[in-house]
Amino acid sequence: MTIEIEEVTVKDGIVRITALNCSEENLQKLERLRDDCYQKELQFVFDTRNNKSDCIYLTYWLHHQKVTAGCKTYGEAFYRIRGTVTTISGKYLEPAA
């Protein structure tokens, strides 16, 4: 899934990435509807404390982002990825409430 990252929050080992959907099909849908001012925010959730596979994927994903090259801490990496357009697995997408 192609997204633009808006915000990253970390609390009690839970990493939440708030992003906009930038996939080609979503952009075409917005163009058809002529709805330029409303894009739904997506939440990706990673439980790095209790779920080892979430932690492994997040670490792998961060290391493969060009913008995070040279980062010494996760905090620095999370700060640098804000505003970037990238791809991420839809597996971690939080269901809409």
pLDDT at residue 13 is higher than 70: yes
Would you state the pLDDT for residue 62? 95
Measured CA to CA, the distance from residue 10 to residue 75 in angstroms comes to: 9
**Whole-number Å distance between alpha carbons of 22 and 4:** 6
From 9-13, 23-27, 66-70, 82-86, the region with the lowest mean pLDDT: 23-27
Mean pLDDT (the chain) is 88
Show the CA angle centred on residue 26, arms to residues 6 and 94, nearest 5°: 55
| Banded pLDDT at 1 (limits 50, 70, 90) | confident
Entry pTM: 0.83
DSSP secondary structure, 36-86, as one string: TT---EEEEEEETTT-HHHHHHHHHHHHT-GGGTT--SHHHHHHHHTT-EE
